[in-house]
Amino acid sequence: MKSSKYKFLFVLILVLLFFSFFSSFVLAAERGLETKYPKIPGAPTLRATSTLPEYVVYFFNLSLIIGAIIASVIIIYGGIRYIFSAGKPEALKDAKSRIFSGILGLAILFSSYVILNTISPQLLSPKEPEIGPSTGIYLINAKNEKLYIAESRNKISFDATLIEFISSSTELYSVFVSPDKEFDINKENSTEIKNPGAGKTSDDPAISSLKSIYFLWNRAGVYLYAKEGHGTPPPPRFFQSSAEYLGDFDNKTKSVKIKDIQGQPLYLAFLFSEPSFEGEEGIGAAIENHCSLNYVADDVSSIDVSRVTSTIDAVKTEGEVIFYDDIDCTKKENSFSLKAGSPSTGGGSIPMPWLLNYSKAVDFNSPVSLNWEVLSFEIKGNYWVMFNTKEDLGGRSQIFKKEGCYPTLKGTHIYHPHPEKWKPRIAMVFYSPR
């Protein structure tokens, strides 16, 4: 009876220890590994990103250690009983049995480890999979050694003969390699190497002399090229927002390319011959694969970049632009409202001849010729407006994008009564989701 009580207490203690130990792991997992797993010799350190094989190996090693400790305790306990059981045959027999059981347990544990290690050492020490870079390129030399390059870099001292592309062509369009230690985006001494696809290589002769490299990422936005037909080198200039002045690229634009993301608002670029979105002799426009430099060929100094939706989608939105014949957004005799995709509600007619010059841009705005003098206007919602002093967009332009009342056009770039030609003759209303 007494022996049964001891056995019951022993089993109860083991159960309590097991659940207290197991609960610590569960709570640690629930708290995002707030409590660290104890380090186990021969087992990988567990983290939030650990894989299932790592968990298996960890708990296998943990079980071996716990089993070895228990077996050792049993042997020690049996040995103590053996020492103090002289003259007690039954006690000696029980002590020997315990010692034998402990030794047998250790032998089984050791054998299981040896057998598994013999069959497949990887089961006991799995290697974490090597996760290589997912973007960029490798430079490869004649010894097949690799140098990873993640982005544009100068001062490269690596004798490369090949370039292996890690990124796909939808992510990285091309790279430009230069023999100069400092890559100069204005020079034409670089060579463009287009991305043939992820995992593929290029052995272009220019690679052997590269000292700097420039990455042309395939991102949505506006690209200005210094050569016609999107020719390179040098690399194009990339814009996702407006620029009041093009700096060292002033008056160098020969062609324009637009890249969009399917299902999202399109990029629209207006190009001006003067800084701050001004110019005396008209503008250029680019949207989708359509570009009309028209009046600003070889003479682009600033660029306005917007995201727009087609007039078909814009007509369903809230907001409008209201034009007035008096200051402070008030009406003397005339006013009318306009939203992209809808005809004006009074006081304007849509000009047609210039549409052929700007082709696709007209699908994203409602142009209206101003038959009377507009002195103020009000923008409601996500609309914006561009004025020009000539109906063919060959005059001065000015863009207004902030919501609210514009109390007067007098004194602006597009309104100078003397000479009379400096007055708004056309308005183009666009819708840009924000």
On whether both 162 and 75 belong to a single domain, the answer is no
Single out the residue in 168, 189, 217 at which a domain terminates. Answer: 217
Q: Decide if 51 is inside a domain.
A: yes
Q: Decide if 131 is inside a domain.
A: no
| Residue 70: predicted pLDDT | 80
On whether both 287 and 344 belong to a single domain, the answer is no
CATH (domain of 266): 2.60.20.10
On whether both 185 and 100 belong to a single domain, the answer is no
Q: Decide if 287 is inside a domain.
A: yes
% the chain with pLDDT above 70: 75
Single out the residue in 287, 308, 329 at which a domain terminates. Answer: 308
| Residue 40: predicted pLDDT | 65
**Structural domain boundaries, residue 71:** 17-124
- 103-112 tens-digit pLDDT: 877 777 777 7
% the chain with pLDDT above 90: 38
On whether both 265 and 234 belong to a single domain, the answer is yes
User: How many structural domains comprise the chain?
Assistant: 4
Q: Decide if 5 is inside a domain.
A: no
Q: Decide if 179 is inside a domain.
A: yes
| pTM (predicted TM-score) | 0.68
Three-class secondary structure assignment of the chain? CHHHHHHHHHHHHHHHHHHHHHHHHHHHHHCCCCCCCCCCCCCCCCCCCCCHHHHHHHHHHHHHHHHHHHHHHHHHHHHHHHHCCCCCHHHHHHHHHHHHHHHHHHHHHHHHHHHHHHHCHHHHCCCCCCCCCCCCEEEEECCCCEEEECCCECCCCCCEEEEEECCCCCCEEEEEEECCCCCCCCCCCCEEEECCCCCCEECCHHHHHCCEEEEEECCCEEEEECCHHHCCCCCCEEECCCECCCHHHCCCCCEEEEECCCCCCEEEEEEEEECCCEEEEEEEEEECCEEECHHHCCCCCEEEEEEECCHHHHCCCCEEEEEEEECCCEEEEEEEEECCCCCCCCCEECCCCCHHHHHHHHHHCEEEEECCCCCEEEEEECEEEEEECCCCCCCCEEEECCCEEECCCCCCCCCECCCCCECCCEEEEEECCC
Q: Decide if 412 is inside a domain.
A: yes
Range picked from 13-17, 215-219, 227-231 for highest mean pLDDT: 215-219
Average pLDDT, stretch 1-20?
Answer: 46
On whether both 238 and 298 belong to a single domain, the answer is yes
On whether both 209 and 228 belong to a single domain, the answer is no
Average pLDDT, stretch 385-391?
Answer: 87
Mean of pLDDT over the chain: 79
CATH (domain of 208): 2.60.20
Average pLDDT, stretch 25-43?
Answer: 55
Q: Decide if 398 is inside a domain.
A: yes
Single out the residue in 166, 192, 217 at which a domain terminates. Answer: 217
